[in-house]
A and B are shown apart, each in its own frame.
Chain A
């Protein structure tokens, strides 16, 4: 899964996906190559260690 944010100043209708408001984040199954969208790299959460 790939996370992107609309970094343009207008609502973008991403072909194959739909309307994305300015600043909104989306998740796609494939990489998209579009200068209006910036890829966001999400950090994986570390599993909680149980206390002994």
Chain B
């Protein structure tokens, strides 16, 4: 019996050409943890039929696919992470390259996560919240909340025909369209339950009937009840340096343009930014006719800033009581020339707490919300400067 250390797992992503149509993910993002899960939400029927049993029958529910990903934070993969939650503009520069992100419709992604023997595939993925978290004193990790339209994990064989090529028909006990998630050129692995043997096949066609797919190889030994899944890929990574606390600067001024070049503030641990782009109903629209969500729709977005600073001359406290807004630019420098840059055009203070404890230095914990700046015509934007000429 095989066992699978979690460090053999991986997370890979790729933006879909058509939103909601799965693709084979090819960009690996090293991850620390994830909780992306398909909830079946099966319905337990409790009815009066002359029996004491509380659960008479369990029927299919409306599925949701959502969770949280904790990922390495570096500029190349940051562009993909941000593409799931914000609108990506045109790249500029000749290397390094600058990718702009603004509040608008995001891309739709396919994510593959290796769990045990299989790659679990989720499509139609969009993000709803992103923030950097500080760990081990200096390393920043991205925490991203996502929701998806559907998933392909394990499917059951109904029948096979042919002996290379082989047409495999899947059962519809999970979904009426069980082959959704598979893509031409995928490599599948099939477990012959009767012998324990594993067979491999490369997909050459995914049938529009929703139940069949074709592989090149002779898999005629498979029978009803055997299990099929996507064979894990061999991941490859293309990363720049990590976002570090020691190379992060919080800059503040009266305007965003001035904040970009202002001196860095003396900001303490516990300070960070939180980007939100809400998804309607949190996990998507549950249309009639399918157990999976039919659409994931972003509604409203905002950016919040939390700052912890030593209490000094009282200017920040005066700005709090007078609701004076300031512009902030948070610059996460990486290596030479690369950066993740968060601009908050008009940050309005919401809270200002100065809690005293004996033997410490007085500090103020403040929270800000980005409001729409009419001069800059935006509340915030994020720029990623990396070495990707195309995405």
Bound together:
yes
Q: Could you tell me which A residues sit within 8 Å of B by CB distance?
A: 8-16, 20, 32-37
Q: Could you tell me the distance between the alpha carbons of A36 and B235 in the complex, rounded to whole angstroms?
A: 9
Q: Which residues of B contact A16 (CB under 8 A)?
A: 234
Q: Which of B25, B238, B239 has the most CB of A within 10 A?
A: B238
Are the C-beta atoms of B236 and A36 separated by less than 8 Å? Answer: yes
Q: Which residues of A contact B223 (CB under 8 A)?
A: none
Q: Could you tell me the distance between the alpha carbons of A17 and B273 in the complex, rounded to whole angstroms?
A: 37
Q: Could you tell me which B residues sit within 8 Å of A by CB distance?
A: 10, 14, 24-26, 76, 185, 187, 231-239, 387-390
Are the C-beta atoms of A10 and B235 separated by less than 8 Å? Answer: no
- 7 A-B pairs besides A15-B10, A33-B231 with CB distance below 8 A are A10-B387, A15-B237, A33-B187, A35-B14, A35-B25, A35-B233, A37-B236
Q: Which residues of B contact A11 (CB under 8 A)?
A: 238
CB<8 Å pairs between A and B, sample of 12: A8-B238, A10-B238, A12-B236, A13-B236, A13-B239, A15-B236, A33-B233, A34-B26, A34-B236, A35-B185, A36-B26, A37-B236
Instruction: Across the interface, name the chain A residue whose C-beta is closest to B234.
Output: A32
Q: A35-B24, A35-B26 are in contact. Are A9 and B234 (CB under 8 A)?
A: no
Q: Could you tell me the distance between the alpha carbons of A35 and B26 in the complex, rounded to whole angstroms?
A: 6
Are the C-beta atoms of B389 and A9 separated by less than 8 Å? Answer: yes
Q: Which residues of B contact A14 (CB under 8 A)?
A: 234, 236
CB distance from B97 to the nearest CB of A (A): 11
CB distance from B378 to the nearest CB of A (A): 30
Are the C-beta atoms of B76 and A10 separated by less than 8 Å? Answer: yes
CB distance from A5 to the nearest CB of B (A): 13
Are the C-beta atoms of A34 and B233 separated by less than 8 Å? Answer: yes
- Number of A-B pairs whose CB atoms are under 8 Å? 47
Q: Which residues of A contact B187 (CB under 8 A)?
A: 33
A9 interface neighbour in B185, B231, B390, Cβ under 8 Å: B390
Are the C-beta atoms of A33 and B234 separated by less than 8 Å? Answer: yes
CB distance from B54 to the nearest CB of A (A): 47
Q: Could you tell me the distance between the alpha carbons of A37 and B76 in the complex, rounded to whole angstroms?
A: 19
CB distance from A33 to the nearest CB of B (A): 5
Q: Which residues of A contact B26 (CB under 8 A)?
A: 8, 34-36
Instruction: Across the interface, name the chain B residue whose C-beta is closest to A12.
Output: B236
Instruction: Across the interface, name the chain A residue whose C-beta is closest to B25.
Output: A35
Nearest 4 interchain pairs by C-beta = A35-B26, A12-B236, A10-B238, A32-B234
Q: Could you tell me the distance between the alpha carbons of A19 and B26 in the complex, rounded to whole angstroms?
A: 16
Instruction: Across the interface, name the chain B residue whose C-beta is closest to A13.
Output: B237
CB distance from A3 to the nearest CB of B (A): 15
Q: Could you tell me the distance between the alpha carbons of A14 and B233 in the complex, rounded to whole angstroms?
A: 11
Q: Which residues of B contact A34 (CB under 8 A)?
A: 26, 233-236
CB distance from A7 to the nearest CB of B (A): 10
Q: Which residues of A contact B389 (CB under 8 A)?
A: 9
Q: Which residues of B contact A12 (CB under 8 A)?
A: 236-238
Q: Which residues of B contact A35 (CB under 8 A)?
A: 14, 24-26, 185, 233
Instruction: Across the interface, name the chain B residue whose C-beta is closest to A8.
Output: B238
CB distance from B220 to the nearest CB of A (A): 22
Q: Could you tell me the distance between the alpha carbons of A14 and B76 in the complex, rounded to whole angstroms?
A: 16
Q: Which residues of A contact B239 (CB under 8 A)?
A: 13
Q: Could you tell me the distance between the alpha carbons of A8 and B76 in the complex, rounded to whole angstroms?
A: 14
CB distance from A14 to the nearest CB of B (A): 4
Q: Could you tell me the distance between the alpha carbons of A11 and B387 in the complex, rounded to whole angstroms?
A: 10
Q: Which of A11, A20, A36 has the most CB of B within 10 A?
A: A36
